[in-house]
């Protein structure tokens, strides 16, 4: 698990990223986007706009139309954290 300076922790596993709110207050999430141009899209339906401290949301990668293989991607997470936007490097395996 990689801890970002903003009090957000991310854990890229199984073609998804877990975002954990670790700060003392509520994490207000803004846009969560894939910015590397890999062709992957993100499903943030599990992530609400507000996350109380200790809550987790899951960002899933959709690979429809992307050739099979291992893809390096970058996820941009906008929030009320002082370091926002946070950039997360992830590896996605497309079957």
C-beta separation of 34 from 66 below 8 A: no
Phi, psi of 69 (to 5 degrees): 140, -170
* Parent domain of 36: 2-94
State in Å, rounded, how far the first CA of the chain is from the last one: 24
Number of domains in the chain: 1
Q: What is the pTM of this model?
A: 0.81
- At 53-74, the pLDDT tens digits run 888 888 988 888 888 888 888 9
For 73-92, what is each residue's pLDDT tens digit?
Answer: 899 999 988 888 988 888 88
- The CATH number of residue 72's host domain is 2.60.40.10
Give which of 86, 23, 18 is closest to 54, Cα–Cα: 23
């Amino acid at each position: 698990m990689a801890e970002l300076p903003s009090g957000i922790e991310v854990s890229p596993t199984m073609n998804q990223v877990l975002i954990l709110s670790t700060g003392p207050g509520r994490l207000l999430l803004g846009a969560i986007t894939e910015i590397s141009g890999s062709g992957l899209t993100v499903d943030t339906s599990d992530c609400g706009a507000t996350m109380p401290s200790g809550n987790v949301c899951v960002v899933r990668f959709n690979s429809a139309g992307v050739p099979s293989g291992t893809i390096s991607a970058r996820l941009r997470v906008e929030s009320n954290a002082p370091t926002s936007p946070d950039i997360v490097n992830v590896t996605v395996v497309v079957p």
